[in-house]
Amino acid sequence: MRTNHSGPKRRRWPIVLLAVVAVVSTSGLVLLLATGGPAVGHFRSPDARDDYADAYAEALDRLPEPTETHDVETTFGTVRAYAWVAEEQPAATPVVLLPGRSAATPMWGDNLPHYIEHRTVYAFDTLGDTGLSEQTIPMRDVGDAARWVDEAMAGLDIERAHLVGHSQGGGLAAAVAVRHPDRLASLTLLEPVLTLGSLPLSTVLASIPLSMPFLPESWREAALNEIGGVEDEEVDPDDPLARMIDVGAESYNSSGLPNPVQLTDTELKGLPMPAYVAIASDSSLAGGEAAADKAKLIPDARVKIWPDTTHSLPMQVAPALDAELEAFWAAHP
């Protein structure tokens, strides 16, 4: 049985990196350098995949042990999914988790112990991104990405679920809500990037050193910390999740992963399911107060700006956030 290691709650840089990678992937620099059409996410070499698998296993080992592991076939490839089955609450609507960019299932280590006390939880590794899902067919847009989520849920016999996404995963969850609303008992968006507004210009500018590998590593780390709103002494480069994401950034090409798109007012007003939207008070990459105001267009939405948080919100305030989410899910079975 894996154990959940407790320790000092840091604003660890890897969760910030999720959105930073999304920033770089949508910046003008990368768009100018991009060539060709839709791509298939892939490891750069067999050795790179092996290195990543080792780092992934170490990060995953810090989570509660899954009761089930699935590889689900979809149109666009095989989705790695983990389940923590709550046999004592068989009637409770399950939760499905979609991670931020480059984070995969291990990003939920601080949250899972709270979620699995009350209901069955599924966590997907994003298709076309780092993790153990394996993409085989290119995705043209976020609509295709929403399709694989729908197909993975169907493959696991999940009729309806509380769908949760952080960062890029929040954008994907929103796309599923627009295109497959019958799948959702509720929608939870945690700092969803590119979904309720544009990325802050300051973030895009600060991310430029991250897209230039020839610059000194100290410059890149300083830019990363600035974007995340963290001090140098808060950074824990030896954290297993940090190592996994760092190895993944070097090992995996996810240039074909569709980016989230901003929902229109009509789409927001048309969402039929209850929604919970959490926005960070500091260094928000979802759009801050403007994004919170936009989210209020959802007819049945609870929108909260969490004080003293950054884009790493899910791990920074895990106990308080998770308690609110369980109460929200329980109120919308």
pLDDT tens-digit map of 288-298: 999 999 999 99
Of all residues in the chain, the percent with pLDDT exceeding 70 is 78
Alpha helices in the chain (DSSP H): 13-26, 28-33, 46-60, 112-115, 142-155, 168-179, 201-206, 217-228, 240-251, 265-269, 288-295, 313-316, 318-331
Domains, the chain, with CATH or none? 13-331 (3.40.50.1820)
Contact yes or no for 292/190 (Cβ under 8 A): no
The angle that helices 46-60 and 240-251 make with each other, rounded to 10 degrees, is: 160
Q: What is the mean pLDDT of residues 256-264?
A: 92
pLDDT of residue 22: 43
According to the model, what pLDDT value does residue 252 have?
A: 92
Provide the 10 A C-beta neighbour count for residue 5. Answer: 10
Handedness of CA 320, 325, 326, 332 (dihedral sign): positive
Higher confidence at residue 311 or residue 61?
61
Query: Does residue 92 register a pLDDT over 60?
Result: yes
Which pLDDT does position 212 carry in this prediction?
59
pLDDT of residue 101: 87
Report which DSSP code applies to 238. T
Query: By 3-state DSSP, what share of the chain in percent is helix, strand and coil, each rounded to 5?
Result: 40, 15, 40
Which residues 6+ apart lie within 8 Å of 167 measured at CB?
15, 18, 19, 22, 99, 100, 101, 103, 190, 191, 192, 193, 285, 311
pLDDT at position 18: 47
Q: What was the pLDDT predicted at 214?
A: 61
d(CA 280, CA 121): 24
For residue range 136-166, what is the model confidence (pLDDT) as tens digits? 999 999 999 999 999 999 999 999 999 999 9
Over residues 103-125, mean pLDDT:
96
Phi, psi of 282 (to 5 degrees): -125, 140
Which one has a higher pLDDT value, 26 or 315?
A: 315
Question: For residue 250, what pLDDT is reported?
Answer: 84
In 10 A of CB 155, how many CB atoms?
Answer: 16
Q: What is the pLDDT of residues 61-79, one digit of tens each?
A: 999 999 999 999 999 999 9
**Which pLDDT tens digit goes with each residue over 211-247?**
555 667 666 666 666 655 556 566 666 789 888 988 8
Nearest of 319, 322, 293 to residue 305 by alpha carbon: 293
pLDDT value at 133 more than 70? yes
For residues 32 and 77, the model is more confident at 77
Q: Please give the residue that has the higher pLDDT: either 222 or 106.
A: 106
Q: How far apart are CA 324 and CA 301, in angstroms?
A: 14
Could you give the angle at the alpha carbon of 200 between the alpha carbons of 198 and 203, nearest 5°?
130
pLDDT at residue 28 greater than cutoff 50? no
Query: Is 216 or 188 the better-scoring residue by pLDDT?
Result: 188
Q: What is the pLDDT of residue 255?
A: 83
The mean per-residue pLDDT over the stretch 198-221 comes to 64
Position with higher pLDDT, 208 vs 311: 311
Instruction: For the full predicted model, state whether its pTM sits above 0.85.
Output: yes
Task: Report the candidate in 33, 32, 52 with the shortest Cα–Cα distance to residue 41.
Answer: 52
